[in-house]
Chains A and B, each alone.
Chain A
Amino acid sequence: MKIKKALLGVGLGIAGLLLTACGGNSNPLSDASSPQPSQSGSATGAQGAPVVVGSADFTESKILAEIYSQALKAKGVESSTKLGIGSREIYTKALQDGSISAVPEYTGNLLLNFDANATATTAEEVEKSLPAVLPPGIKVLKASPAVDQDVYVVTKDFSAKSGITSLEDLKKIASTSTLGGPPELEKRAYGPPGLEKIYGAKFKSFVPYAKYPPKISDLDSNKIQVATFFTTDAVISEKGYVQLEDPQSMILPQNVIPLVRSDVADNADAVAALDAVQSTLTTEDLVQLDKKVDSERQDPAQVAGEWLKSKGLA
């Protein structure tokens, strides 16, 4: 009996080892996985080949990815999604190695990502500068009028007490204040380095927040004095946060724009589908869609589908 059990154990163990070996190879994007069951081995995007749309791990990115993917499907282009991959540093790699073939992006930060010294400041300038700085094999499609900016905020009370309403004012309080934002903000051009260089504001410290709730909680309790959000976040209007002005355009215009691999850009149907989405999308749409998912807990895929239907795009 014991021998049988030992043999069973060995057998299961070997089976297990084999499974591990297989499991290690099955996911090409092995450094990211999302709860979404949809996956595809590799995405080529050649005429008619499936387009895998990836997304960052914030709500709006997921909704946009779903919109893109479903719009493509409606136009007959096979597509699937890979949501919640991570920050720009991560999904850019995924795009370059072919694990995904498209991702919703934002013009200004995208430009800064590839050219930290870019001098463009208006939306048109930014969009025009993009093609030149992108790595080979990666293209952008049409930008949308819909905009979602990073924004620095303070609480209503803090603004009233300290008179801070613009990034220019920050240098008055920065040395005794703490800034809170996503971990990747710390080194970004429009993060603490930019605040110091352009507005002369050097914060006492920076606290990284991987998630919103602790950031919101700490801002409200004055553990941090300034925090970054996105202009379409529902929490800003819910809490009445004061958005600090950016007179020197440290934060570039952030129009929604699809970042794709060249083969997708060469696919006329795909481009037509995405261009249609881009022209139709408005900032107000983003606000509403974000609210449906963040506040009402609806499903990004469903919300995306409903929007497309309402605009006659699916």
Chain B
Amino acid sequence: MNLDWAWIQRNLSMIGNLLVEHIILSVLPVLVALVISLPLGFLVFKTKRVANVILAFLGVIYSIPSLALFVMMPLILGTKILNPVNIVAALSIYSIALLVRSVVDGLRSVPASVKESASAVGYGWLRRLVRVELPLAMPVIYSGLRVVTVSNIALVSVAVLIGSGALGKLFDLGFGSFFYTPIIVGLVLMLALALAADALILLMQRGTLPWFRKRQTA
């Protein structure tokens, strides 16, 4: 299985375009999910008992295979079946399903004693949430963020079966002509992307939560 470096060189611009497309398709859902999951997760957390039911429901959504969700999005969104918006929407839904769980778990992990101390010192609920509970919940949320980002990067390639898929198109190309090089290029780039994204988020975590560095990271 030799790599055809000449082919890689000839197609650098195509590979580059696919890489950019891949980054956009995987990162956008995470951003959307983050914006929605923080408040939504907080709301779910507040419902206490009902929270478990909601989380179970989200878990069911999470269990639906991505390709199936990509194809069923048009029913919900009214888009054409092969519109890339379907992919971003579907991945956002997955990301939300997971991140809401992370937010809830994170908020639940804050010891009651800490919350009580904050209230005792005079913090209102909002200030306590933003200054105490959320920061303490962040490690769990960051962990969820890493999982979601890395998963999305792999999931985007599945969309090649419906004509999209960014770097996944390299798999399609290679498979169609018994050509290993594009497949290897695709695999390497995706894994590199996942590693880079994971490291980046970890760095962000270290940067914004310096006090957590002493403890073990998930």
For the complex formed, measure the closest distance between the CB of B186 and the CB atoms of chain A, giving whole angstroms: 11
Which of A29-37, A223-231, A242-250 lies on the face that meets chain B? A29-37
Verify A10–B35 contact, CB threshold 8 A: yes
Question: Of B172, B177, B208, which contacts A297 at CB under 8 A?
Answer: B177
Q: Which residue of B lies closest to A21 (CB)?
A: B85
Verify B81–A211 contact, CB threshold 8 A: no
Verify B169–A19 contact, CB threshold 8 A: no
> Which residues 16-40 in A have Cβ within 8 Å of B in the complex?
16-17, 19-20, 23-24, 27, 30-33, 35-37
> Which residues 216-261 in A have Cβ within 8 Å of B in the complex?
none
Verify A2–B130 contact, CB threshold 8 A: yes
How many Å lie between the Cα of A135 and that of B41 in the bound state?
54
Tell whether A30 pairs with B83 under 8 Å between CB atoms, given A16-B31, A37-B17: yes
Q: Which residue of B lies closest to A299 (CB)?
A: B10
Interface string of A6-20 (1 = CB under 8 A from B): 100110111011011
How many Å lie between the Cα of A41 and that of B84 in the bound state?
17
Tell whether A31 pairs with B82 under 8 Å between CB atoms, given A2-B130, A12-B31: yes
Verify B179–A35 contact, CB threshold 8 A: no
Interface centre among B36, B163, B169, B208 (most CB of A within 10 A): B163
> Which residues 7-32 in B have Cβ within 8 Å of A in the complex?
7, 10-11, 13-14, 17-18, 24, 28, 31-32
Verify A294–B177 contact, CB threshold 8 A: yes
Interface centre among B18, B35, B81, B208 (most CB of A within 10 A): B35
Q: Which residues of B contact A211 (CB under 8 A)?
A: 172, 175-176
How many Å lie between the Cα of A3 and that of B134 in the bound state?
10
Tell whether A297 pairs with B83 under 8 Å between CB atoms, given A20-B88, A35-B169: no
Verify A23–B84 contact, CB threshold 8 A: yes
Q: Which residue of A lies closest to B13 (CB)?
A: A37
Verify B28–A35 contact, CB threshold 8 A: no
Verify B163–A86 contact, CB threshold 8 A: yes
Interface string of A293-313 (1 = CB under 8 A from B): 010010100000000000000
A136 touches B (CB below 8 Å): no
For the complex formed, measure the closest distance between the CB of A58 and the CB atoms of chain B, giving whole angstroms: 9
Closest 5 CB pairs of A and B: A13-B35, A31-B82, A16-B31, A24-B85, A211-B176
Verify B28–A20 contact, CB threshold 8 A: yes
For the complex formed, measure the closest distance between the CB of A21 and the CB atoms of chain B, giving whole angstroms: 8
Interface size bracket, A side: 20 to 34
Tell whether A13 pairs with B31 under 8 Å between CB atoms, given A24-B84, A31-B82, A31-B163: yes
Question: Of A3, A20, A24, A30, which contacts B130 at CB under 8 A?
Answer: A3
Q: Which residues of A contact B179 (CB under 8 A)?
A: 297
Q: Which residue of B lies closest to A297 (CB)?
A: B7
Q: Which residue of A lies closest to B28 (CB)?
A: A16
Verify B163–A32 contact, CB threshold 8 A: yes
Verify A17–B32 contact, CB threshold 8 A: yes
Can you list 28 A-B pairs with a CB-CB distance of less than 8 A?
A2-B135, A9-B38, A13-B31, A13-B35, A13-B36, A16-B31, A16-B32, A17-B32, A19-B24, A20-B85, A23-B84, A24-B85, A30-B80, A30-B84, A31-B81, A32-B82, A33-B164, A35-B169, A35-B173, A36-B14, A37-B14, A211-B175, A211-B176, A212-B177, A212-B178, A213-B178, A294-B177, A297-B4
For the complex formed, measure the closest distance between the CB of A7 and the CB atoms of chain B, giving whole angstroms: 11
Q: Which residues of B contact A33 (CB under 8 A)?
A: 84, 163-164
* Besides the known contacts A13-B32, A33-B84, A297-B179, 7 further A-B residue pairs in the complex with CB atoms under 8 A apart: A2-B135, A6-B130, A9-B38, A16-B32, A19-B24, A20-B85, A31-B163
> Which residues 151-166 in B have Cβ within 8 Å of A in the complex?
163-164
For the complex formed, measure the closest distance between the CB of A309 and the CB atoms of chain B, giving whole angstroms: 19
How many Å lie between the Cα of A59 and that of B80 in the bound state?
27
Tell whether A6 pairs with B38 under 8 Å between CB atoms, given A33-B163, A212-B177: yes
Q: Which residues of B contact A3 (CB under 8 A)?
A: 130
Tell whether A19 pairs with B28 under 8 Å between CB atoms, given A2-B134, A3-B130, A24-B79: yes
A5 touches B (CB below 8 Å): yes
Tell whether A212 pairs with B131 under 8 Å between CB atoms, given A9-B35, A13-B35, A32-B82: no
B34 touches A (CB below 8 Å): yes
